[in-house]
């Protein structure tokens, strides 16, 4: 499964929203309206640089994050979400807000998306400082060899 | 089948979390004394609840001002209250027990992953390069029991006073805890070592591993040029 093909949340999210609106008791149908539009207008886009997420019909909102700026990714699920096979992926950057900058909800593939985001994040791929020799031709010995070659050239020129 | 499997299946608690990125992780667990501390706190709450119910029953039976109908309603309310409290105590015990058992603190050479919670399952993963500070916290009771919490913070704000949408106090997102561990010092040292091993701790730098290898390649090229030059000089001599 390719994470980039994900654009819409799963229909189970609407069920979860219906459940959430029941928490409002007899006024549940009023609470359901914003949830309904939120679900139907929610779009995700995973591209080379980052993720964007947008929703809303009267008040539109669009959040764009760059993979490189992601700090922590948390996975949270309550009982109802687990029954529906969902979890929230809460993504934080280093901004000053206590809540998550972006919450990706309504995906059954939350584990894959989380791992995908981690593979794109800074500090995961090349996080460990390695000795120079491990990752590139040894700089010091190559320079020494260059010096040796130059010395040999000088000697060759002097012998002429 | 034990009650544990049934509860875990009904509540869909996911199994052991996947290891974080990096080397195979070391897994730490909460110490048994952490469970003891949780049980103490939980028992005090239950004792207060039982005392409250008993007080209500006692006060009601002392006051003989009701007619038979209200008396019946109150009696039914008492029975319901007692049943609810019993169920709550049983359920609460399961949660306290499972919450202690199903805790994973994983630490690899690149990241840490903390899985906790039963009703709400939270899995936090923090890449070591992003860690800003590490603290060990220990309260007086924890000190007696020989346990401590290791607190790991990443950049970004969000104090305890911040509220989430529902108005509850939310745990700040930029912090993770190794709760109730009896080897806090060891974990702290391992974390510090891991953080020190990271190449950068800046914010939002792109992975630019091409720079280093570029210099190496340039030197190799220079070496080849020097060899060619020497070959030319030596052949020109003859």
Subunit contact A98:B22, Cβ cutoff 8 A: no
Please tell me the predicted confidence (pLDDT) of residue A38: 93
d(CA A83, CA B10): 9
Number of Cβ atoms within 10 Å of the Cβ of B39: 14
CB B179 within 8 A of CB B149: yes
pLDDT tens for A64-80 read 999 888 888 899 999 99
Inter-chain contact A77–B121, Cβ cutoff 8 Å? Answer: yes
**Would you state the pLDDT for residue B100?**
93
Average pLDDT over residues A47-63: 90
Task: Record the tokens describing residue A14, joined without a space.
Answer: 């609407």
d(CA A121, CA A105): 20
Q: Is A52 helix (H, G, I), strand (E, B) or coil?
A: strand
Residue B59: phi and psi, rounded to 5, are: -60, -40
Instruction: Determine whether the interchain pair A135/B164 forms a contact, defined as Cβ–Cβ distance below 8 Å.
Output: no
Which residues 11-70 in chain A show a CB within 8 A of chain B? 66, 68-69
Task: State the best of A87, A94, A98, A118 to mutate against chain B, taking most chain B CBs within 10 Å.
Answer: A98
At B133 the three-state DSSP class reads strand
Beta bridge partners of A48: none
Whether pLDDT at A47 is above 70: yes
List phi, psi (to 5°) of A24.
-85, 5
Mean pLDDT across chain A, nearest whole number?
85
Separation of alpha carbons B174 and B159, rounded Å: 9
pLDDT value of position B161: 44
**Which ranges of chain B does DSSP label H, i.e. alpha helix?**
3-10, 32-62, 68-101, 140-145, 184-196, 210-237
| CA gap B111, A115 in Å, rounded | 13
| pLDDT tens series, chain B, 238 aa | 578 888 888 888 888 888 888 888 999 999 999 999 999 999 999 999 999 989 888 887 776 666 677 778 888 888 898 999 999 999 999 999 999 999 999 999 888 999 999 989 999 999 888 888 899 999 999 999 999 999 998 887 665 544 444 444 456 788 899 999 999 999 999 999 988 888 665 554 555 554 555 677 788 888 888 888 888 888 875 5
Sequence-distant (6+) residues with CB within 8 A of A98 are B157, B158, B159, B162, B164, B170, B172, B173, B174
Across the interface, whether the CB atoms of A68 and B237 are under 8 A apart is answered no
Q: Which among A87, A127, A135 has CB closest to B128?
A: A127
Going from the C-alpha of A27 to that of each of A15, A38, B228, B235, the distances in angstroms are 17, 18, 85, 95
Q: Which residue of B has its CA nearest to A119?
A: B21
Angle between helices B68-101 and B32-62 (to 10 degrees): 180
pLDDT at A107 over 50: yes
Global pTM value = 0.74
A73 touching B, CB under 8 A?
yes
- Is pLDDT at A132 greater than 60 in this prediction? no
pLDDT tens for A146-159 read 888 888 888 888 88
Q: Which residues are CB-neighbours of B105 under 8 A, at least 6 positions away? A: B27, B28, B29, B30, B112, B113, B114, B178, B181, B187
Kindly tell me if the per-residue pLDDT of A43 is higher than 90. Answer: yes
Residue to substitute from B169, B207, B225, interface A, most A β-carbons within 10 A: B207
DSSP letter at B216? Answer: H
CB atoms near residue B100 (< 10 Å): 22
| Of A119, A121, A136, Cβ closest to residue B212 | A136
Helix axes B210-237, A139-159, angle to 10 degrees: 20
Encoded tokens for B227: 């060899």
pLDDT band at residue A136 using 50, 70 and 90 as cut-offs: low
* Residues A8, A74, A78, B93, Cα dihedral to 10°: 170
Return the residue in B8, B110, B119 with the most chain A beta carbons within 10 A, the one to mutate for interface testing.
B110
Residue of B nearest to A123 (CA): B129
Taking only Cα atoms into account, the Rg of chain A, rounded to an integer number of angstroms, comes to: 26
Distance (Å, whole) CA B60 – CA A3: 62
Q: Say yes or no to pLDDT of A109 above 60.
A: yes
Q: Which of A76, A83, A99 sits opposite B122 (nearest CB)?
A: A76
Contact residues, chain B, for A153 at CB < 8 Å: 226, 229-230, 233
A139 at B interface, C-beta within 8 A: yes
Predicted pLDDT at B234: 80
Query: How many CB atoms within 10 Å of residue B111?
Result: 27
Looking at residue B190, its pLDDT comes to 93
So what's the pLDDT on residue B8?
87
Q: What is the pLDDT of residue B166?
A: 46
Tokens 């309260």 sit on residue: B139
Per-residue confidence (pLDDT) for residue A123, from 0 to 100: 64
Q: What is the pLDDT of residue A138?
A: 73
Residue with tokens 């790991």: B152
Q: Higher-confidence residue: A123 or B133?
A: B133
Distance CA B190, CA B192 (A): 5
Residue of A nearest to B237 (CA): A160
């Amino acid at each position: 499964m390719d994470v980039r093909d994900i654009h819409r949340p799963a229909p189970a999210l609407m069920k979860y929203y219906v459940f959430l609106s029941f928490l409002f008791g007899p006024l549940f149908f009023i609470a359901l309206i914003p949830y309904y539009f939120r679900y139907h207008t929610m779009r995700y886009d995973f591209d080379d640089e980052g993720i964007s997420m947008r929703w809303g019909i009267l008040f539109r909102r669009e959040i764009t994050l760059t993979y490189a700026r992601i700090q922590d990714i948390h996975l949270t699920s309550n009982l109802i979400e687990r029954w529906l096979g969902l979890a929230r992926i809460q993504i934080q950057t280093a901004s000053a807000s206590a809540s998550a900058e972006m919450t990706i909800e309504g995906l059954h593939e939350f584990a894959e998306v989380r791992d995908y985001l981690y593979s794109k994040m800074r500090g995961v791929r090349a996080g460990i400082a390695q000795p120079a020799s491990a990752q590139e031709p040894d700089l010091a010995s190559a320079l020494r060899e260059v010096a040796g070659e130059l010395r040999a050239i000088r000697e060759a020129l002097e012998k002429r | 089948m034990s009650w544990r499997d049934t509860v875990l299946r009904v509540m869909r608690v996911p199994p052991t979390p996947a290891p974080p990125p990096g080397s195979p992780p070391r897994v730490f667990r909460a110490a048994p004394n952490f469970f003891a501390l949780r049980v103490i706190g939980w028992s005090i709450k239950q004792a207060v609840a039982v005392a409250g119910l008993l007080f209500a029953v006692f006060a009601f039976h002392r006051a003989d001002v009701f007619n038979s109908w209200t008396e019946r309603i109150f009696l039914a309310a008492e029975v319901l209250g007692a049943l609810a409290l019993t169920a709550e105590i049983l359920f609460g015990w399961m949660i306290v027990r499972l919450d202690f058992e199903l805790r994973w603190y994983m630490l690899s050479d690149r990241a840490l992953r903390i899985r906790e919670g039963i009703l709400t399952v939270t899995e936090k993963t923090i890449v070591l390069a992003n860690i800003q500070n590490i603290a060990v916290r220990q309260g007086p009771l924890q000190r007696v029991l020989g346990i401590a919490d290791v607190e790991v913070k990443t950049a970004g704000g969000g104090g305890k006073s911040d509220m989430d949408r529902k108005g509850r106090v939310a745990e700040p997102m930029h912090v993770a805890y190794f709760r109730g561990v009896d080897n806090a010092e060891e974990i702290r040292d391992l974390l510090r070592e891991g953080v020190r091993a990271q190449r950068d701790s800046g914010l939002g730098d792109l992975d630019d591993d091409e720079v280093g290898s570029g210099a190496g390649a340039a030197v190799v090229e220079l070496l080849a040029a020097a060899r060619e030059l020497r070959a030319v000089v030596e052949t020109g001599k003859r």
